[in-house]
Amino acid sequence: MIYKFIKYETSENCLTIKLNRPEVLNSFNSGMAGELQHALDSAIADENIRAIMITGEGRAFSAGQDLAEAIPKDEPPADLSELLKKNYNPIIRKIRQISKPVIAAVNGVAAGAGANLALACDIVLASEKASFIQAFVNIGLIPDSGGTYFLPRLVGFQQAAGLMMLGEKISAGEAEKIGLIYKTFDESEFSIESEKLLKKLSQMPTKAIGFIKEALNRSMSNNLEEQLRLEEKLQAEAGSTFDYKEGVNAFSEKRKPEFKGE
């Protein structure tokens, strides 16, 4: 597929997906949402891809829904539940279900559904120039794209309520401090560090990372007993991979492991 609104760039076992509508701060029209879904499906199917990064072209990560498309002039208002069903929810499900690590490299402002797309990813890195806004309430809406699920689980009820109800911008540094994101980098280091992490993840035991992701997903709703049983099952699967044998052999032979993702 030839993409118009995103860039799809592979290198060795890495995939970088760049949201590419910089003139409107990479806000989502239906075309971009469809292309991102297609790109994630390709990443799921391509065994060669072992780590994925989502980032933005230009000065923003994403300003969320393209408001010009959501509120067309002289036409009846769009059905917002349909927009969520068709455009955003499939993206959030795919990010959580894909058994490969997905990094959000937040290069600039991340607002509305753009912020919550980032928060659905496994590891969120940000440039010190970046910021996060639960902008929905500022236009009379509620956080969507999984925001009401991920936010309280990431930062607790109080911080989540404040962020969602007030719709104020917070800096990347503040986001790191409250546990909303993993790490912030100086602007000069951000690209290099994001690439480094993407490459590192692509060379790690991909199956184990997929199982870790499954365990994290399920820990959101499981009780301890259910989680202990899940760990038994997933550890048995991890223990039958090539990479487990390779990891143990490399340790005893005092060499660097060469994981294959198998």
User: In terms of CB distance, is 139 or 228 closer to ligand LHQ?
Assistant: 139
Min. distance of Cβ 124 from ligand LHQ in angstroms? 17
DSSP notation for 174-235: HHHHTTSSSEEE-HHHHHHHHHHHHHHHHTS-HHHHHHHHHHHHHHTT--HHHHHHHHHHHH
Per CB under 6 A, 136 contacts ligand LHQ: yes
User: Of 109, 119, 120, 197, which lies in the binding site for ligand LHQ, with binding defined by CB under 6 A?
Assistant: 109
The type of residue at 9 is: E
Which residues partner with 126 through β-bridges?
106, 184
Burial class (CB in 10 A: 0-12, 13-18, 19+), 10: middle
- Angstrom CA distances, 5 to 21, 37, 38, 114, stand at 6, 12, 12, 15
Q: Which residue has the tokens 């490299």?
A: 105
Residues 39-78 that bind ligand LHQ (CB under 6 A): 63-68, 70
Binding segment (CB under 6 A) for ligand LHQ, from list 23-31, 97-105, 234-242, 249-257: 23-31
Per CB under 6 A, 113 contacts ligand LHQ: yes
Binding segment (CB under 6 A) for ligand LHQ, from list 20-28, 41-49, 149-157, 205-213: 20-28
Binding segment (CB under 6 A) for ligand LHQ, from list 9-17, 37-45, 108-116, 146-154: 108-116
Residues that bind ligand LHQ (CB under 6 A): 24-25, 27, 63-68, 70, 80, 83-84, 109, 111-113, 133, 135-136, 139, 141, 144
